Structures are given as C-alpha cells and as structure tokens.
Amino acid sequence: MNVNAEEILRKFLDERSSSRTDRVGDSLPLISAFGVGLLVGAGVALLFAPESGKELRDDLADRVEGLKEQASQAITAVEDRAKSPS
C-alpha cells in the first residue's frame, strides 16, 4: 500500500473545511432566534419598566454623577498618599 502524506493531508483539510461550512450554516437559525429573542426581551422590558423614560434617564444621570464624584474622591486620596512621605 502506497500512502502519500500530501493526499492524506489534502483529504483531511477538505473534510474539515466542508464540515465547518456545514456547521456555520446550521447555526444561522440559532443565531437568528437568539437575536429575535433579544429584541423581544428588550421590548418587553421597556413596556414593563416601572419608570417613565424621563425618570429613568434622570435616575441614570444621578447615578453617573455619583460615580464621577466617588472616582474623583478616590483619585484625590491616591494623589494625597503619593505626595505624602511614608
């Protein structure tokens, strides 16, 4: 039996590439269903949100402002520690 390494490698790569293409094609419906579910879930979340849009934006702005203030205080504390001799 005369086995050529190039033929084996070529056959192996051909089988891998065709099976990979099949797997990608098979996963497209799953990815599509996930995307649709994501959109439906986001829509339902907006419909059942306990706050109006303006209240939600105001609440988020307040939280971001609080986080900015905390970050500023932390940076100041680190700078003070770096300046003070140990």
Structural contact between residues 9 and 16, judged by C-beta atoms closer than 8 angstroms: no
Specify the pLDDT at position 47: 73
pLDDT in tens, 41-81: 887 887 777 777 788 788 888 989 999 999 999 999 888 88
86 pLDDT exceeds 90? no
pLDDT of residue 66: 92
Residue spans of the domains in the chain: they are 1-48, 51-86
Tens-place pLDDT, residues 3-50 = 677 777 777 777 655 555 556 567 778 888 898 999 898 878 877 777
Report how far residue 35's alpha carbon sits from residue 41's, in angstroms, rounded to the nearest whole number.
10
- In this structure, are residues 56 and 49 in contact, taking their beta carbons and an 8 Å threshold? yes
